[in-house]
Amino acid sequence: MIAQLVCLLLLIIFYMLQTAIFSQMPLISGTADLILLFFAAWTLQERVKYRWIWVVIGGLAISAISAMPLFAPLIGYAGVYGISKLLQRRVWQAPILAMFIVTLAGTLFQHGVYILSLQVSGAPISWGVSLDHVILPSILMNLLFALPMYALVNDVVGRLYPLEVEP
C-alpha cells in the first residue's frame, strides 16, 4: 500500500515539475519528458509489483489533461513499458544501459505516436521538421535526465522493496 502511494506521489510531483519547469526550458522545440523517464526507470525495477497498472493510470491521467489527441500519451507510455519489458530480459546485467536504451527508443516511439496522431487529426505536421525541431532535441534532453531519474527511482525502490537477506 505504501509503495502505491509513493508511486502516485512521485507521478504527481514529476507531472508538476514537467508542466511548471521543464516545459518552460525547451531545446529548440523539444523538452524533457519526466513522466516518460519515470515510467522507464520504474518499469525497469524488477522488485516493483504491478508496474503496468501505473503506466495505464499515468497514461490515462496524462491523456485526460494533455492537449494531445485522446489516448496518444497512453499509447506512448505503454510503448515505453513494452520496450522496458523487452530489454529487461536481454540487458538484465546492465540496468543503466537499459535505461538509456529505453529512453532513446521510448522517446522515438512516443513522438512517433504523437506525430502520427496529430497528422490523423488533421494537423499539418512534417516528419522532417518534427525530427529536427522536436524529436532529436527531446531525445537529447531525455538522455540528459535519464541517469538522475534512474538513480532516484532506484533509491526509492530500494527503500520500498528492501532485498531480503537469507540467514
In a domain, 35, yes or no: yes
167 in a structural domain: no
Q: Is residue 99 part of a domain?
A: yes
Cell of 29: 522545440
Share the mean pLDDT of the chain. Answer: 88
Provide the domain count of the chain. 1
Nine cell digits for residue 146:
535519464
State the residue range of the domain holding 144. 2-157
> Each residue of 26-76: pLDDT tens digit?
888 888 999 999 999 998 888 888 888 888 888 888 888 888 888 889 999
Residue 148: pLDDT band (50, 70, 90) is very high
Which pLDDT belongs to residue 143? 95
Residue pLDDT, tens place only, 3-28: 889 988 999 999 899 888 988 888 88
| Contact between residue 22 and residue 142 where contact means Cβ atoms under 8 Å apart | no
Phi then psi for residue 27, to 5 deg, are: -110, 110
